[in-house]
Structure 1
Amino acid sequence: MFKKIIPVVFLAFIFCNSNAQKSSYQPTRAEMDASVLRVERLNNLLSEVTTNNQIRPNWHKDGKSFWYLRNLPNKNWEYIYVDAVNGTRKTAFNVDKLAKALEQTTGKKSEINTLKSARLYFVDQNILKLKFDEKYYLVNLSNYNVTNTSDSTIFRYNARKGLQYNDSRWRNAQNGTQSPDGKSEIKITGGNIFVVDLSTKTETALTNDGTLAKPYGNFEWSPDGKNIIAYKVDPKETAKVYYVLSSVPGTTRGQLKSREYDQSGDELTTYEPYILNLANKTALKVNSEKIDFFEPRALHWRNNSNRYFTYEKVDRGHQRFRVIEVDVENGKTRNVIDEQTKTFIYESRIYTHYLQKTNEIIYASEQDGWRHLYLVDAISGKQKLITKGNWVVRDIDSVDVVKRQIWFTASGINKDEDPYFKHNYRINFDGKSLISLTPEVGNHELSFSPDRKYFIDTYSQVNAAPVIKLKLTANGKTIQELEQGDLSEFAKTGVKLPEVFVAKGRDGVTDIWGVVCVPSNMDPNIKYPIIENIYAGPHDSFVPKSFLPRSEMQQIAELGFIVVQIDGMGTANRSKAFHDVCWKNIADAGFPDRILWMKAMALKFPNADINKVGIYGTSAGGQNSTGALLFHPEFYKVAVSSCGCHDNRIDKRWWNEQWMGYPVGKEYEQQSNITNASKLQGNLFLIVGEADENVPPESTYRLADALIKANKDFDILSIPGMGHSDGGVYGLRRKRDFFVKHLLNLDPPNTNKKVAIE
């Protein structure tokens, strides 16, 4: 016990004394100008560094080999040919020889960069087919003999990077008008559904209570064509939001623009399911509530059955999700899956994959506190955990029905590394034989060969250069290391790579992860203000995990700041409890964790001036950065907020109701930056694009109005014609100037003055 306390006390002693001896960074105008030039110099140097941080494999049709471009110094390129079967890697051809051979054949000069953009295809490792100057040629790479060819066939396979959800639950009702046997088709007249016999043109009415105001629609045939599942629709007009384009070239008047935009609490169109029987000419209402969120999704029928189908229902408010089975003979329903929660179900990360032949469903849920996969018997409703543990299933790549295996990514399985790192796995439906395909420490991204027999694994860390390997999909075994990043070239530029820092959150137990960027010429005897780059949107986590030699954070750090980014509680990709902090509490934004993290960071980085803290963010980050000054003025002193969602009632319905709940309650007003504008302390700079179609510009303008009425001082920049953005190049410069002025007490240079050119 005593041994654990001593280091903390000692660190605190060192911190207090070391900070007492340090002076605050107070640059002169000349020193700041030099810092700005250093940022430009670093950007130029970094753009010249040879990197192969990612490769784009061009797989051949047989899936046994591929080629890719490898960049070389001075913007030159090398073509690499990889034989996956034999595990060999070699230079595919001599670029200069090929360019000369083409020039001799065509009479036109071929530069290396021109060749880079040419269409290439390896017939085999010795014969190259390419398109040059709108003609096709074959090149024998053993002697660089070039011949014309009329064969223009070039196989292209786009190896997808990363993982994608199966799209089964995102498909809407099929709305195919023709019956499965092709003898009839659906026709809607006056809001009612008719079936037309295509041979006799006879029309039979299946409904009679539809109207143009409340029509039937969104229909789907049963597999045997004896029933139609249709929905009686109660449409609601989507209200519009507006903005004015003030500066359209060639005009002298502003142009009013509008778009449909559901805001929190708006009425939505609802859908009531019916079973239309062709033989009886009846319309039977399904014994379930109306669908009040999303359009009806695709139906899933039991194997070899035309009697039972399931559909998905997400209740508005995001607190209940069901897979409902319907008996078409009587309209009765039962819940195959019925998940309910007191907080929220993250609707965008619900995953359902329907195995029709076995009447099973692969289902992703956080019901045990972590996002895991379940195997659901679609007839009995029984669920079995496939994955389990205190870690998170991130994405599902694919489901192998024959082998009964699932390919997925997960975070947090490896206890001794960053819990956000993505790794790739395969597991059997029964939860056995979990295999890690990417065990190496780092954040992984995969792309597969056409037949998925091989994959390319790229992994890195923010301060560890990428390693790229060719691996065997069956067991994850490395066949060949293709590329390995070299940090020495980055070191020569003088750039400082980000440092990873971890500290305990508000509960004293949970690790909070972030990164720290410091000036490349940091003086050990100087204290530098801290600036936080914030985005606390609950829909994801945001601290970078892959190699980051170049970033806006580092550019700002070079001006004399320590810039940090943190994922606090309330963001995703950790436990359900970690995420739930945001529920009806979006203004929290993880600030208690962020503030503790920065205080702990200042112990390790004694150059960090914990008494001078600024913050900036865009969109949800714009809301967060303003909220920092309103709700935590004792800590945050300066904020730059771009296109912020300053009131969750003004912003888009689907995003805000997910976290703030429905119906719209008192929480919306209580946590609004607008209703709390009178609390402003510190220095605030608002940036907004007048043509923002993501977050309505009035969100920022209403905040400005509230600040004015509260007699508060602030700065605001409205950029003509700009959409959802942090202001582009101009906004970035103004952001930097604002921090320099209010954290370093130095007026920015007057860019309106002419600079003498010597």
Structure 2
Amino acid sequence: MKRQCFIISFFITLSLATLAQGTVEDFRRADAARATFRNKAYNIPGVFHWIKGKHLCWYLNNARTGKEFILLDADNNKQQQAFDHNKIANSLSVKLGKKMKGSALPFTDIEFSADLKNIFFQVDSAKLKCNRTNGQCDVVEIVKPAKSPEVYWGDAFDERGNKPVGSPDSVWLAFVRDNNVFIRNKKDVSKVHQLSFDGDGVNYYSSYITWSPDSKKLVAYKVTAGDRRLIHFVESSPADQLQPKLHTRQYLKPGDGLPQKQPQLFLIDEKKHVAIDDQHFKNQYFLENIVWNPDSKFFTFEFNERGHQRYRILKVSANNGEVKTVVDEASKTFIDYSGKKFRHDVLAASEIVWASERDGWNHLYLYDTHTGTVKNQITKGEWVVRSVIHVDETKRRILFTASGLDPDHDPYLEHTCVVNFDGSGFTRLTTSNADHTTTFSDDYKFFIDYESRIDLPPVCKLYEADPVSEKMILQTADLTDLQKTGWKSAEVFSAKGRDGETDIWGIVIRPSNFDALKKYPVVEMVYAGPQSFYVPKSWSSNSYLHSIAELGFIVVQVDGMGTSWRSKAFHDVCWKNLKDAGFPDRIAWIKALAQKYSFVDATRVGIFGGSAGGQNAAAAVLFHHDFYKAAVASCGSHDNRVDKIWWNEQWMGYPIGPHYAESSNAVHADKLGGKLMLIVGELDDNVDPASTLQVANGLIKANKDFELVVIPGLGHSGGGEFGERKRRDFFVKHLLNVDPPSWDEAYRKGEPEKVIK
């Protein structure tokens, strides 16, 4: 009997050891994963560079033997090395005094001479010219490092910072002095004329002045200044001194007062100021993009109304300043000006190509600039125009990208298409079930198609565009070495969302030692910012997500409702409701995954993200803690009233109302029902660190247990390597129910490639 008990106990122990997750070996394998999976896939070029005026294209290929520069001759369907790599390496070794290899040349960008006999590139501070045939290199210039001005994204635009603006006929200079508009004759500097007299310190004229083509009129904005908000950071541990430093940034937040601009027209011959009625563009978020008609009879500009529910192109008569509406875009929710706005003026025909979601999908329309009417809808269907590559005004054709064209395929896969201005002649240049990135020669006769999917290795092909025909395969990815490491491709998975009808798409990543007999908790990487979608579609090794999976998790990424590039209705879910973050769709998707696969444990689900993803991650354990058990939120925009103005008013609207508080993690901190870690850098000037600390304050007041990690000297990030280790430990502890090993054990550096196998 004792012997039987021993045997049973032995096999139970052996079984538990076999099924163990979150071990030292798992941590070491996870730590090694990113290095192990990196640079193991070959023949995957980066960017393709067409040489201007020629049907020649060069690209840098990561061949198994090393870096190789390839030159493609599209006319003759040939490609070869762009130069003799070994000869140039030998020449550089002599010239620069250090050994170079032809397979590892120290540059990635080249430029061809006009006669194609030489190439130019830069190594450190030396710009070199090398003969393509004999490899002889000479230093042509020592380039001093360019001093980039310190520009912060939140800085207010300096309306007074422009230089005098010359007229097209080179007779006049227009400038602003003492807050008013002046012109000066270039030949006779004594001829100075003041055109405006109503500018002062409160209502001043912008120095960004726009002349009419005939040089007889100009437009200048009269500006009323808005609010100036500052945020402050204390750098606790600066490298150059013992004592802390105070940093200050300009940072407008939702509800702050914005500058208000009024275009003013000036007639040069009469020295006359023509005031323009502002009734069509009051309560502006911004005015921009003044465009004069070639005949100088009128100009147009764009008006984005505060709250982003109306966007107009307005037309102003150069004779009397009369304002008429050309395009009047309106929405009951929001106009996605920051992601989908497209305008192209066909000046010779007085037309505008304009993008709109008015029929529920992002499409192109052709407007008559004179009458302000739609001549016709150019594209149409239950799919979206993603971008416009080229507008051919002569052939009256538009080259563009689109997604959602194939009902049975992933709706985010991007394709290249062409259509005539009148909507006829719609043709797809790419058709396969893959994501397509195309790069065209400058005459649009040829294009290169980078074709891949997250689960389909890339193939690069040369095509002739009109009519479309495949010419040759340039490169086919080689994943042999990557697959030998144990790496496995992500799986594409779709399931129905909250409505039981809409397909929600995501990816699934398994650990390299995956065992279908085990039960794996789920870790979701989340970012539900409405400005785009985030599940990758083109191929990559996804080494970061794989590194998390190595700890013993199934890692997923999902795009739920409220994100972009599906229908307008799909996107509108986010409006005034960022706390939604597609959670009903995410939860339904993960449950469907668990129903399909027995190894997926939907009772142990964790989630992490940064920035908007940090807001989402914390919201998961505040509003959906019956499903999500653990969350790590980095640099989160937890209260949309505390974050930057443009992003939050785009989706949450204006004016500020109770819906802002309804989406706030800080306001609802008392609802915490799962485990939560907050990570923030003390110098985050993208999302105010106060956003995270206000959540912490709410949690403390509600007597909630949580972890707070504040990282000295760090800006907007997931916490760097320290934050990554904290994140791994957190999920191992709370999802695997295992005490993580010490860092001395887990991160002992050895030979990563041997560790991971």
Measured against the shorter chain, the TM-score band is 0.7 to 0.9
Tell me if structure 2 keeps the 8 A contact 1:498–1:548: no
Give 2:360's aligned residue. Answer: 369
Moved more, 446-455 or 400-409: 446-455
Give 2:634's aligned residue. Answer: 642
Give 2:151's aligned residue. Answer: none
Answering whether residue 176 of structure 2 is matched by residue 177 of structure 1, we say no
Moved more, 644-653 or 184-193: 184-193
Cα distance in 1 between the residues matched to 2:108 and 2:479: 31
Residue pairs, 1:541-690, within 5 angstroms? 541-690=533-682
Tell me if structure 2 keeps the 8 A contact 1:130–1:138: no
> For 2:332, which of 330, 339, 342 is the aligned residue?
342
C-alpha displacement of 1:83: 2.3
Q: CA RMSD in A?
A: 3.2
Change (3 A) 1:444 1:464: same
Cα distance in 2 between the residues matched to 1:711 and 1:757: 40
Change (3 A) 1:585 1:227: same
Answering whether residue 191 of structure 2 is matched by residue 202 of structure 1, we say yes
Cα distance in 2 between the residues matched to 1:139 and 1:526: 58
What's the secondary structure of 2:200's corresponding residue? coil
Cα distance in 1 between the residues matched to 2:394 and 2:161: 27
Answering whether residue 698 of structure 2 is matched by residue 710 of structure 1, we say no
1:578-598, CA deviations, whole angstroms, 9 ceiling, x for partnerless residues?
A: 000001011100111111111
Tell me if structure 1 keeps the 8 A contact 2:163–2:175: no
What's the secondary structure of 2:38's corresponding residue? helix
Residue pairs, 1:250-269, within 5 angstroms? 250-269=240-259
Cα distance in 1 between the residues matched to 2:625 and 2:614: 16
> For 2:529, which of 532, 537, 546 is the aligned residue?
537
C-alpha displacement of 1:403: 1.1
Cα distance in 2 between the residues matched to 1:396 and 1:129: 32
Cα distance in 1 between the residues matched to 2:542 and 2:746: 31
C-alpha displacement of 1:211: 1.1
Change (3 A) 1:120 1:291: same
Give 1:415's aligned residue. Answer: 407
Change (3 A) 1:435 1:706: same
Number of positions where the alignment pairs a residue of Structure 1 with one of Structure 2? 712
C-alpha displacement of 1:206: 2.7
Change (3 A) 1:149 1:502: closer
Answering whether residue 740 of structure 2 is matched by residue 723 of structure 1, we say no
TM-score of the pair, normalised by structure 2: 0.87
Residue pairs, 1:246-395, within 5 angstroms? 246-289=236-279, 290=281, 292-293=283-284, 296-304=287-295, 306-348=296-338, 349-383=340-374, 384-395=376-387
Cα distance in 1 between the residues matched to 2:504 and 2:256: 36
Letter in 1 for 2:180: N
Give 1:49's aligned residue. Answer: 40
Cα distance in 1 between the residues matched to 2:75 and 2:199: 63
Change (3 A) 1:671 1:134: closer
1:159-215, CA deviations, whole angstroms, 9 ceiling, x for partnerless residues?
A: xxxxxxxxxxxx999986333333333343332223334526233333322212221
Give 2:54's aligned residue. Answer: 63
Change (3 A) 1:200 1:443: closer
Letter in 1 for 2:633: S
TM-score of the pair, normalised by structure 1: 0.87
Give 1:161's aligned residue. Answer: none
Cα distance in 1 between the residues matched to 2:103 and 2:479: 26
Tell me if structure 2 keeps the 8 A contact 1:571–1:582: yes
Change (3 A) 1:381 1:602: same
Change (3 A) 1:393 1:107: closer
C-alpha displacement of 1:502: 0.6
Change (3 A) 1:666 1:175: farther
Letter in 1 for 2:584: P
What's the secondary structure of 1:215's corresponding residue? strand
Letter in 2 for 1:378: T
Moved more, 203-212 or 645-654: 203-212
C-alpha displacement of 1:30: 8.9
Cα distance in 2 between the residues matched to 1:267 and 1:692: 23
Cα distance in 1 between the residues matched to 2:266 and 2:397: 38
Letter in 2 for 1:744: L
Give 2:448's aligned residue. Answer: 456
Change (3 A) 1:453 1:173: farther
What's the secondary structure of 1:477's corresponding residue? strand
Change (3 A) 1:26 1:307: farther
Letter in 1 for 2:26: S
Answering whether residue 55 of structure 2 is matched by residue 82 of structure 1, we say no
C-alpha displacement of 1:64: 3.0
What's the secondary structure of 1:745's corresponding residue? coil
Answering whether residue 233 of structure 2 is matched by residue 240 of structure 1, we say no
Gaps of 5+ in 1: 1-22, 153-170
Tell me if structure 2 keeps the 8 A contact 1:269–1:292: no
Answering whether residue 398 of structure 2 is matched by residue 402 of structure 1, we say no
Gaps of 5+ in 2: 1-13, 142-158, 751-757
> For 1:33, which of 12, 24, 27 is the aligned residue?
24
What's the secondary structure of 1:556's corresponding residue? helix
What's the secondary structure of 1:626's corresponding residue? helix
Moved more, 327-336 or 344-353: 327-336
Tell me if structure 1 keeps the 8 A contact 2:22–2:551: no
